[in-house]
Structure 1
């Protein structure tokens, strides 16, 4: 009787141990949708950047600076003495407007009022978030943002539609240092 139990146990052990088989997908999809989407976005970005470069070429009054983040800007009022720029966690107080690239006002400074913003701790569109980090207290800067640096594909659900490049004049009123690192 014991021998039979051992044989049954041994056979269960041998035949129940099987390497797992990978499950195959029901349908195989190629990456064509993603590839097409990437190509469309590259074409859109190139078209917007060409339009912005044309605006910069026609504007001989200002010296445009290309940011590392992929937008362009010039100083309306620049502080050459201070070295303090906002860092993560600092509180900034600023005013700004939003225009399309033709200069038509979408949101005025009065409409948007004065904003108090914790750097990188609150929601703000990408380009403006990065642009504020380049500014010093008292400066006025005009930014040109391609749509992927502004409101992108979704817009703002109000006045800004899909894939709209923007222009914004920002006044940084005050920086309150809250970060643990010194500049």
Structure 2
């Protein structure tokens, strides 16, 4: 009897020494939603950029510049003497308006008033944040932003809806250098 109990004990012991095996997932996700979303966004971006390109081609009175950030702009007033552009932490004072690509005013300069902004330290939509870094004090620039450079999918929860490309005219009034901290 003792031998039988020892044999049964050994039979139960050996399977418990087995290393744990990874379990297979119950359901397999293919990632197709993400792939579809990427394709939709690429198509939307291409459509918006083609529309902006048509506007640029029709506007023969201005010389547009393509930015590295994926938006277009031209100078209404250009400073050819100064070389100082805003850097991280600098304080800029500016006015701007917001229009759709058809020229309909969404926010006027009067409505938005004068803005004081710490470069890259406060919230501002991506395109305008990058556009300000290209400007010098006293310049006025008109920017054309595809929606992914503006308010994107979410809009501004007020007057700007989903995926709206924007046209803004910005006047950079002053640049104040970031104060250096002394110990």
Tell me, in whole angstroms, the C-alpha distance in 2 between the residues paired with 1:142 and 1:169. Answer: 4
Report what 1:60 is aligned to. Answer: 60
Report what 2:41 is aligned to. Answer: 41
Tell me, in whole angstroms, the C-alpha distance in 2 between the residues paired with 1:170 and 1:109. Answer: 9
Provide, for residues 48-106 of structure 1, a one-character-per-residue CA deviation record: whole Å limited to 9, x for no partner: 00000000000000000000000000000000111100011111000000000000000
Provide, for residues 106-165 of structure 1, a one-character-per-residue CA deviation record: whole Å limited to 9, x for no partner: 000000000000000100000000000000000000000000000000000000000000
Q: Which residues of structure 1 form unaligned runs of 5+?
A: 1-13
Report what 2:160 is aligned to. Answer: 160
Tell me, in whole angstroms, the C-alpha distance in 2 between the residues paired with 1:158 and 1:18. Answer: 62
Report what 1:132 is aligned to. Answer: 132
Tell me, in whole angstroms, the C-alpha distance in 2 between the residues paired with 1:126 and 1:179. Answer: 24
The structure 1 segments of at least 4 consecutive aligned residues displaced by more than 6 Å after TM superposition are: 14-17
The alignment covers a number of residue pairs equal to: 168
Note the C-alpha offset of 1:23. 3.5
TM-score when normalising by structure 1:
0.87
Note the C-alpha offset of 1:31. 1.4
Q: 1:101 to 1:19 in 2, by over 3 A?
A: same
Report what 1:170 is aligned to. Answer: 170
Report what 2:5 is aligned to. Answer: none
Structure showing greater Rg:
2
Report what 1:51 is aligned to. Answer: 51
Tell me, in whole angstroms, the C-alpha distance in 1 between the residues paired with 2:85 and 2:15. Answer: 69
Q: 1:57 to 1:20 in 2, by over 3 A?
A: same
Q: Is it true that 1:116 corresponds to 2:116 in the alignment?
A: yes
Tell me, in whole angstroms, the C-alpha distance in 2 between the residues paired with 1:23 and 1:152. Answer: 40
Note the C-alpha offset of 1:22. 2.7
SS in 2 for 1:97: strand
Root-mean-square deviation (CA, aligned residues, Å) is: 1.6
